[in-house]
Structure 1
Amino acid sequence: MASVASQVILHPVVSQSVKVAATTVGRDKLYRAVQYFARFLAWFLGARGYKIQAARWNALKSHLALGRKLMRLGKPVENLQGALRAFYGSSPAAEQILTIAKQLSYFGYLSHDALVWANTVKFFNLAPSTAARVNKTANRFWLSGILLSILHGLLKAGRLANEAKRLQDSQVWVGKGSEVNIDGQLQALNAERYATRHQFVIDLLDVWIPAASLGLVVLNEGLLGLFGLITSLMAFRQQWTKVNGGK
C-alpha cells in the first residue's frame, strides 16, 4: 500500500504539477481555469433550474475572481517595466509602439482592478456610482490592451512569415557549411511564430469578456465561461512547458 502511495505521490506528473503550481503564473492560470469553469457551470445549472447548485458555483467564481485580484496587486509594475523595455528595444517601430501602448493599457487595467479589490474587501469604501465607474474603466483598459495585442500579433506574424520565407529562399544559394546555421535560425523563427499564433488565439477569445462586460456585445455567461476556460488552459499549458522544459 505504501509502495502504491509513493508511486502516485512521487509520479513525475505530480512533481511537474507541483513545480508549475509553485509559480505565481501557474497558480493564477489554474485558478482562472476553475473560475471560468465555475462561471460556465453556474450558467448551465441556472438555465436548467438548479438554482441552489448554480449559486454554489457562482460563489466559487466570485471568490476566485477576488483572490486573483489580490495576487495581481504588484502586476502593474511589471507592465511599466515591459513598456520601458519595449521603448529601449530594437523591434520595428510599429510593433514597438503597439507593445508600449498594450503594456500601458494593462497597467491601467490592473491599477483600476486593484481599486475594485480594495473596495470589495472594504479596505476603503467607494460610492456605488464611483465603484461602477472604476470597474467600467478597468474593463475599457483591458479591452484596449487585448485589441492592441491582437494588432501587434497580426503585424508580428506578417513580419515573421516574411523573414521565414527569406531564410528558406536563401537556403538554395548558400553552401553546405551555412545550412546548419540557417536551420537553427528557422527553428528559432518557427518557435517565435508559434508563440505569436498561440497568443493571438488567446486574445481572440479573451476579447469578448471585457467587451461583454462593457455591453458592446451580448453573449451569455456560459459562452464567456467557455472562452475563459479555454484560454486559461492554453496559458497554463504554456507555463507548464516553460517550467518543465517542454515535457
Structure 2
Amino acid sequence: MEPWVRFSAQSQAKERVLRAAQYACTLLGYSLRKNGASPGFLASVAQLEAHLSLGRKLFRLGNSAEALEAAKRAIHLSDVVLRFCITVSHLNRAMYFACDNILWAGRAGLVPHMDQEKWSQRSFRNYLFALILNLSRDAYEVRLLMERETSGKPSQKTGSSMAAGGNGSDVPVGRSPVLQRLALRLQLQLRLLSRVLRNNPPLLLDLAKNACDLFIPLDKLGLYKTGPGFVGLCGLASSILSILAILHPWLKLKP
C-alpha cells in the first residue's frame, strides 16, 4: 500500500491545480450567464468544467488508501479530542474518495448503469461530515491556544475591571453596566482570537480553507443553497489555500 500512497501524495498538487481550474470555470460560467453570454460559449465552459472534474477524479484514485493510513497514524494521538476528530475525519475522507472513485468509473463509462446521483449524494455527505470534524478540530485548537494565551498573561484586565473603571472603554456610556461588561468581554475575546490566529498561520489557513469548503457540500446536498457563483468562489479560494499549503509545507496544520 505504501507505494500507492506515495504516488497519491505526488499527484495531490496536480489535483489541486485542476480543482482550482474547475471552480474557476464554475465562477466564470456564472459571471458569463449573468452578463448574457451566448449559449454556445456557456456550453463550452460547462464542458471544460466537466472534463476538469473527471480529470480530478482520476488523480484521486489512490486517496482512500492515503486517508486510511492517516487515520491509522492519528489513532495514536495522546489528546482524545484531536484523536477523535482527526481519525474520524480521515475515515470519512476515505469513504468520500471511495464514492468519488465509483463516480469516476460511472462517468468514464466503465459502469454504465450506475446511479450517479445516489453516489454523488453519498460522496458529498461523507465530505460534509469530514469538514464538520475538521472545523471542530480547528475550533478546539483555537480554544486551547486562547486559554494558553490568557493563562500566560495573568495581569491582563478583565471585562469587569475595565467596566468598573470606565476609562479605556469603547462602549457608549449610556449603556447599562451589564451590557458594557458583555460588550467589553466580547471585544477582548475577539482581540484574543485575532492575535491567536495571526500568530498561527497554519491554523488560520486550515480554518479558512475548511470554512470555504463547507459551502460546497451544503449547496450540493440542498441543505443551504448558495448558487454556483458563490460555490465557485469558495472552491477557488480553498483550492488556492490548499496549493499554498503544498508549496510551503510549514503552512500545513499538524498533526
- Same fold, judged at TM 0.5 (above): yes
Aligned letter for 1:163?
R
Unaligned runs of 5+ in 2: 1-8, 155-195, 251-255
Q: Any idea what SS the aligned residue of 2:77 has? A: coil
**Which residue matches 1:177?**
none
Q: Which amino acid aligns with 2:144?
A: R
Q: Which structure features the higher share of helix residues?
A: 1
CA-CA distance at 1:111 after TM superposition: 0.4
Name the SS for the 1:70 alignment partner.
Answer: helix
- What amino acid is the match of 1:74? G
Question: Structure 1 unaligned runs (5+)?
Answer: 1-21, 170-188
- Opposite residue 26 of structure 2, the aligned amino acid is R
Shift of 1:59: 1.2
Aligned length: 202
Q: For residues 199 and 93 of structure 2, what CA distance do their matches in structure 1 show?
A: 22
Which residue matches 2:56?
68
Report what 1:99 is aligned to: 86
Moved more, 203-212 or 50-59: 50-59
Give 1:107 shift: 0.7
Aligned twin of 2:210 = 203
> Equivalent residue for 1:235?
242
Residue 152 of structure 1 pairs with residue 140 of structure 2 = no
Percent identity between the two aligned chains: 23
Match of 1:183 in 2: none
| 2:86 and 2:137 in contact (8 A); partners too | yes
Q: Distance in 2 between matches of 1:241 and 1:83?
A: 23
Matched, 1:26 2:10: no
Does the C-alpha gap of structure 1 residues 192 and 72 become closer, same or farther in structure 2, counting only changes over 3 Å? farther
CA contact (8 A) 1:42 1:53 kept: no
Select 2:224's aligned residue among 202, 217, 228: 217
- Deviation at 1:73? 0.5
Query: How far did 1:242 drift?
Result: 2.9
Structure 1 residues 191 and 107: CA distance shift in structure 2, 3 A: farther
Shift of 1:192: 8.6
Question: Over residues 72-92 of structure 1, what are the superposed CA-to-partner deviations in whole Å (9 max), with x where a residue is unaligned?
Answer: 0000111111111111122x1
* Aligned-partner SS, 1:218: coil
Tell whether 2:99 aligns with 1:112. yes
Matched to 1:216, the amino acid is L
How far apart are 1:164 and its partner, in Å? 4.6
1:139 maps onto 2:124 in alignment? yes
Q: Distance in 1 between matches of 2:104 and 2:139?
A: 33
Partner of 1:216, secondary structure, is coil
Q: CA deviation at 1:113?
A: 0.5
- Residues 1:24 and 1:164: Cα distance change in structure 2 (over 3 Å): farther
CA distance in 2, matches of 1:138, 1:192: 35
The CA RMSD measured in Å over matched residues stands at 2.5
Higher RCO (Cα < 8 Å, 6 or more apart): 1
- Could you tell me which residue of structure 1 aligns to residue 187 of structure 2? none
Question: Does the 8 A contact of 2:24 with 2:233 survive in 1?
Answer: yes
